[in-house]
Structure 1
Amino acid sequence: MAKSEEVKLIRTACPAHCGIDACGILAHVKGDRIVKLEPADFPDEKDKRICLRGLTSLDITYHPDRIKYPMKRVGERGEGKFERISWDEAYNIIVSQFKEISEKYGWKSIGWVLGGPGAGTTKFGAYLRLASLTQSTRVSAWGYGDAGLPCGSRIIFGHQFPYMYLHGEFWQRKYPDLLVIWGTNPAESMP
């Protein structure tokens, strides 16, 4: 078998498709491409699992319509005209807009909500660090105990907020003027 045809098994965690992101998987890698995912071996039989969403995540990863690079709108909103930009340019745009907002309204005008696919345990620390560094508003109750999120949101925030994000209620609201959805697509991944 030629070296390029060898399949390597790499133990990792399920890609971002739920609020856990931590189910153990074995990725079968051929060259630079994952060709198969399967549950990883664990001593306890009940830990040898992965849901169908996780097992089929390669369909999303390698879908021909997947956007793989930052895109910048070049036409009017709604025209669907975009151009590819570099990651550096994308990060610079994001940083400059955050700075502009913070200088005009203060960092507390920016609220961070964690939830949905891609917001699980493997990314939680980065989210908290960013909110902490900027001294911005942490809106999410995640981290206070997710199992009680529907009830906890009402106690902590006086409303089922941010629980409403999980069920699409937010999208009917008239505010805010800008909502940045980072690392998830509620139109595709939420019920």
Structure 2
Amino acid sequence: MEVQQILDLNKQITDSEKHFNNMQNEYRKIGSGWLLATFAGIGFALTQKAALPFHPLLFIALICYAGAIGMIMLWNMDLSVYQKLLDANFKEGLLLEKQHPWIPQIRHNMLEFHGNRGVLPRVIWFYSMPVMVLIAVGAYQLTLFYSESGFFFKAGIWVISFLLYSSFSYFSRHESRVWKKN
């Protein structure tokens, strides 16, 4: 390939990376808004108890679980779809930089600055921590709601919540594998 063809190819890859990065940024904005809306719903339930159609503790638990489900759905689109598309382009850019060392080594430097792991582990934390907090708050609210129930019923709520979070956590770590630099 001629120099201009290599530069054009690099620009096409860069443009594609920008597109998928922008898509991911939009999902993370939606995720932040979703989390804030969940907290607003909890605040509403705490301040407007008389306006709720059923018990506030149950209402808050449902809001928390709905918030966690929404975050998981956003995570799925962000990391399971767009991150993989971004990675495909990024890997091709790395290969191009390796084959033509005179191209600015931006992608190689990015990986090096992040310990050759990329930013994916931090993005997983962006989604997994709110999900964990929402599931824990929801479980706590259900435990309070069923305070008259026996120990095993309340323990079951926590076990089920722990299993839900654990399965999400396992899936997030294995579906969105961190890849090493070639």
Could you state the TM-score of these two structures normalised by the residue count of structure 1?
Answer: 0.19
Could you state the TM-score of these two structures normalised by the residue count of structure 2?
Answer: 0.20
Higher helix share: 2
| Structure with greater Cα Rg | 2
Higher strand share: 1
